[in-house]
Structure 1
């Protein structure tokens, strides 16, 4: 499953698609289809130029990241617990502990800690054996990280189950489906996760972190950016994941 996901991430990358188009144009030119080769080359170059613009990434990400209300802790006083779905933790290589955490994991867990301190409610972390080292369970590492931040052990509930959003919510529902939750997740992930929680009959408000766009929709030009290419890829992946959920898993 991990290998298949990596292949999909590679194939939907605008950079990969642009390179493939440029290589195709060369092949057509070698076969004496010069006009076709020129058109394909133009497509590849245009795609690379367009998708490397931060504004284009903003436009693609906006419906994902800014589709719902932004909450404050004062709006969430009726919540029973904070739910933090898994992101990623690097189990390979000789790295300092803090460097093993992906940015989205860091932001989700720190925000959960802030809410826990303010609202005096526990944090629920999920995630099983989906990391490179299958002996490491994500939720147990997340629990340890929260405790190093000062959260008391009795305020962190670890559910070491789930390899994706759907299975994590299923594990959550089994034990805490009756609770009113505040869910802390990445902004690009919020729409899909909200749908999964709703279909599981779990009452939860979503608090967004790890924004990938500025929310600026007014057109602007800037130098091509590799970061914009990555954010465009991330938007494409999330849209495909939403379609997959509604077609195959809902």
Structure 2
């Protein structure tokens, strides 16, 4: 019977990330055929993935990345089942590599079919499911373009955000990171009032109107009160109108203008673990 040598086991382990004993068993079963051993490990991963398909993968790592000229960015969450796996160095490294690939992928589906060292990303996730023994999948997928982008990843890789600014000016890097911290912390629903959906506006107006009626406010003044209520809603929930977390005396829009009078926030993306 074939007896695997240490260098072959190490090579297979480095290639697949599988445990030493699993690599030994695969090489024995493949009678020393390296490619066949890889295939055996992948099939094991498929079996594990099938068994854990209905599991919840609510832990993981959320990673934001931008390209070298700061004009394209992406955020992905690589999800798993436990916090123990989420903190594993190899798992976080994989999440970072996938986030880099996501920058040039048009969609999550395109990312899953992209080449990952000779196999697709989807196949890599199945392989790692077998290695780790937990369900692993890409959860969030966000892409953004802009004149200048800056990213922020909250400690522990649970939340990440990217902000787009209107120009690459002096101080843009600091501003984009600071506003991304704002996005991560305050979770705005839109950039400004023009980007809030009509459905959200109608729902908020309905809630506030019912409260005012219950308070006994006269019908003829309710509409005026609602205008003020919505202004407050936009201030609390839209990014550029929110109070800046590093200096509550100014709005986010005012902070950005303090960096450069012509600078504006043009967009943002945010992802977080559920």
Q: TM-score, normalised by structure 2?
A: 0.23
Select the structure of larger CA radius of gyration: 2
